[in-house]
Amino acid sequence: MSEEIKEKSASAQLKEKLFLSKKSGCLKVTAEETEAADSFCEEYKNFLNNGKIEREAVAYSIEAAKKAGFTEYDRTKAYAPGDKVFVNNRNKAVMLAVIGKKGTTEGVRLGIAHIDSPRLDLKPIPLYETNDLALFKTHYYGGIKKYQWTTVPLALHGTVVKKDGTAINVAVGEDESEPCFCVTDLLPHLADEQMHQVMSKAFNGEHLNVLVGSRPFNTDEESESVKLNIMNILFEKYGITESDFLSADLTMVPAGKARDVGFDRSMIGAYGHDDKVCAFPALMAAIDAELPEKTIITVLTDREEIGSDGNTGMKSSYMADFIADLAAADGMQARHVLAKTTCLSADVNAAFDPTYASAFEANNSSYINNGAVITKYTGSGGKYSTSDAAAEFMAKVRRVLDDADVLWQTGELGKVDGGGGGTIAKFVANLNADVVDLGVPVLSMHAPMEIVSKLDVYETYRALYAFYMQK
Ligand code: MN
Ligand code: MN
């Protein structure tokens, strides 16, 4: 090789020293790392396909944890450094802990992601018949652009609990051999009035009715016989009657599997990246973390998309109570542990979308393929409703990520006053712990098909692992 190496100009050298690098993340990682990212994401796609709702994600995570040596936590038992335990919160949230060499005495390290995603929940009395069609009434869960959920194949997921306590898990519409369901939309020929309405009016919540059948039970002229036929099919398959819908968590989610996106297969398109795309890296980091310094706790929580209220959400005391139990075993007070606790709130941010560039502030946006994104604060209307990580904690996190050669970036959620949002970070901060958001940039967030980069998924795993295993 006789290529001449040109001396960089003085300003180029100074820029390198003083400026943040603008080089694409893809150019900063080795071919081996890209390959490792691709193979990590094969298992991630499996997690997505088998964990569309929080109950399924909990079941998947517990099974994976058990295989890796985690046992169900028993607060009357004594645990030693290196021991691995899990706590199942009502089959809708799960905590995985690895006991550290120092236990809880100097605080614990938390990684928290959520496993609920926006969707169309069935109403308590969902099934009705009109004009010889059977439909389900739904009540959407989380923030959605309603029009996106029309005319896409949907699958029914969830659990029905009968009066005697028997639980029946339901999943219909994922396999091509099974039927799927659909919210209809008006044809363009007749949509003149609809097209002139503002979007929020053109598609309202009561339009989100899911088509589930059209044939009558038999030929006699009984009314509601299409509904009767559907109820009869459900009774034959699951042994349920209409009143069993009252004690059910049933929901419609986009049907189908996660797919590679792009000729280069660099991205993944799927339902529910927000926030399984952080939950899976957090789960894997927990499984791979052997004998950490401080006890690490990975929390896969529920309810984030609707504000974290409820006993399986982060406004519940379930995580603090677990920390209190671990603290008591070390002769510590929970509040002293929490005050020294640090947390990565593993949640997504909006990736810069060139098609909608005006919604973003380019300097402070996160970008596909630039690695895990740290979001110092979220909120809206002048940093309302956000914890805003302190400079001291930001410095620690920077150091940990750089020491482990993690590809990372920072990002704000869109331009100032462009809207806003929040994560569970503030609820953890309110416990008097240090916390910052770190996760994967997502295109088309909250849509039936969201898009992430494989490299970013893997770097988020590496970030969480480095955070857990730091000295
Ligand atoms: Mn999220
Ligand atoms: Mn979300």
- In DSSP notation, 400-450 reads HHHHTT--EEE--SSSTTS--B--THHHHHTTT-EEEEEE-EEBSTTSSSE
What CA–CA distance (Å, rounded) separates 328 from 77? 12
pLDDT of 205 over the 80 cut: yes
Mean pLDDT of 303-314: 98
Mean pLDDT of 9-15: 94
pLDDT of 436 over the 70 cut: yes
Mean pLDDT of 183-205: 95
Return mean pLDDT, the chain: 96
Q: Which ligand is nearest to the CA of 277?
A: 1
CA of 305 to the centre of ligand 2 (A): 5
pLDDT score, position 219: 73
CA of 98 to the centre of ligand 2 (A): 28
- DSSP line for 209-237: PEEEE---SSSS--TTHHHHHHHHHHHHH
| Three-class SS state of 174 | coil
* Joined tokens for residue 274: 């927000």
Residue 223 or residue 359, greater confidence: 359
Give me the residue spans of the domains in the chain: 21-117+271-469, 119-254
CA of 464 to the centre of ligand 1 (A): 16
pLDDT score, position 220: 73
CA of 423 to the centre of ligand 1 (A): 6
Domain at 21-117+271-469, CATH from 3.30.70.20, 3.40.630.10, 3.40.50.300, 3.40.190.10: 3.40.630.10
Task: Spell out the residues 6+ positions from residue 316 whose beta carbon is closer than 8 angstroms to its own.
Answer: 310
Q: Please, which pLDDT band fits residue 427 given cuts at 50, 70 and 90?
A: very high
CA of 118 to the centre of ligand 2 (A): 7
Mean pLDDT of 271-292: 98
The yes or no reply on domain 119-254 and CATH 3.40.50.2300 is no
Residue-wise pLDDT for 32-45, tens only, equals 999 999 999 999 99
CA of 19 to the centre of ligand 2 (A): 32
CA of 462 to the centre of ligand 1 (A): 19
Residue-wise pLDDT for 342-355, tens only, equals 999 999 999 999 99
Residue-wise pLDDT for 327-344, tens only, equals 999 999 999 999 999 999
Asked if the domains 21-117+271-469 and 119-254 are classified in one and the same CATH topology, the answer is no
Q: Which ligand is nearest to the CA of 279?
A: 1
The proportion of the chain whose per-residue pLDDT surpasses 90, expressed as a percent, equals 95
pLDDT score, position 223: 84
Q: Please, which pLDDT band fits residue 48 given cuts at 50, 70 and 90?
A: very high
Q: 74: buried, middle or exposed (CB in 10 Å: 19+, 13-18, 0-12)?
A: exposed
Mean pLDDT of 199-221: 92
pLDDT score, position 76: 96
The proportion of the chain whose per-residue pLDDT surpasses 70, expressed as a percent, equals 99
Q: 62 and 86 in contact (C-beta within 8 Å)?
A: yes
pLDDT of 398 over the 60 cut: yes
pTM of the model: 0.97
| Three-class SS state of 373 | strand
Mean pLDDT of 228-249: 97
Q: Please, which pLDDT band fits residue 3 given cuts at 50, 70 and 90?
A: low
Q: Which ligand is nearest to the CA of 117?
A: 2
Q: Which residues of 201-226 are buried (b: 16+ CB within 10 A; e: fewer)?
A: ebbeeebbbbebbeebbeeeeeebbb
pLDDT of 1 over the 80 cut: no
pLDDT of 4 over the 70 cut: no
CA of 105 to the centre of ligand 2 (A): 34
Residue-wise pLDDT for 108-153, tens only, equals 999 999 999 999 999 999 999 999 999 999 999 999 999 999 999 9
pLDDT score, position 295: 98
pLDDT of 311 over the 70 cut: yes
Q: Please, which pLDDT band fits residue 375 given cuts at 50, 70 and 90?
A: very high
Please give the angle made by the CA atoms of 415, 347 and 208, to the nearest 5 degrees: 80
